Amino acid sequence: MHKILIFAKREYLERVRTKSFIVMTFLIPALALGGFVVPSLVNRGGGGSKHLVVISSDARTGALIREQLLKLSDDQRKGALPQQLQRSLPQIGALTVDVDTNTSDSERASLSEKVNQKQLDGVIVATKEALASKNVPFLTRDVSSFLINSEFERAMNQALRRDLLKSKGLTDQEIENAFQTVDLAAQSPTGLGNPQALFVVVFGMAMIFYIVVLLHGISVMRAVLEEKTSRVMEVLLSTAQAKEMMAGKILGVGAVGLTQIAIWALMVLLPSAAGLIAAADMLKGVISIKVILYFAVFFLLGFALYSTLCAAVGAMVNSDQESQQLQFLVMMPMVISVFIMFNIIQSPGGSLALWASLFPLTAPLIMFLRVALQAPPWWQVAISIGLLVATIYGLVVVCGRIYRVGILMYGKRPTLPEIMKWIRYA
Higher pLDDT, 189 or 50: 50
Radius of gyration of the chain (CA): 30
| For residue 189, pLDDT beyond 70 | no
Backbone angles phi, psi at 319, to 5 degrees: -155, 165
Give residue limits of the domains in the chain.
Answer: 50-178, 192-425
Banded model confidence at residue 125, pLDDT cuts 50, 70, 90? very high
Which segment of 149-163, 204-218, 347-361 scores lowest on mean pLDDT?
204-218
For residues 225 and 363, what is the distance between their CA atoms, to the nearest angstrom? 28
For residues 423 and 98, what is the distance between their CA atoms, to the nearest angstrom? 78
| For residue 386, pLDDT beyond 90 | yes
Interval 257-266 mean pLDDT: 76
| For residue 318, pLDDT beyond 90 | no
Which segment of 107-111, 399-403, 408-412 scores lowest on mean pLDDT?
408-412
Q: Is the model's pTM score more than 0.75?
A: no
CB 326 within 8 A of CB 313: yes
| For residue 26, pLDDT beyond 90 | no
Third-level CATH fold of 50-178: D-Maltodextrin-Binding Protein; domain 2 (3.40.190)
The pLDDT value given to residue 42: 56
Banded model confidence at residue 45, pLDDT cuts 50, 70, 90? very low
The pLDDT value given to residue 287: 65
Question: What's the Cα-to-Cα distance from 122 to each of 69, 70, 73, rounded to whole Å?
Answer: 12, 14, 15
The pLDDT value given to residue 48: 66
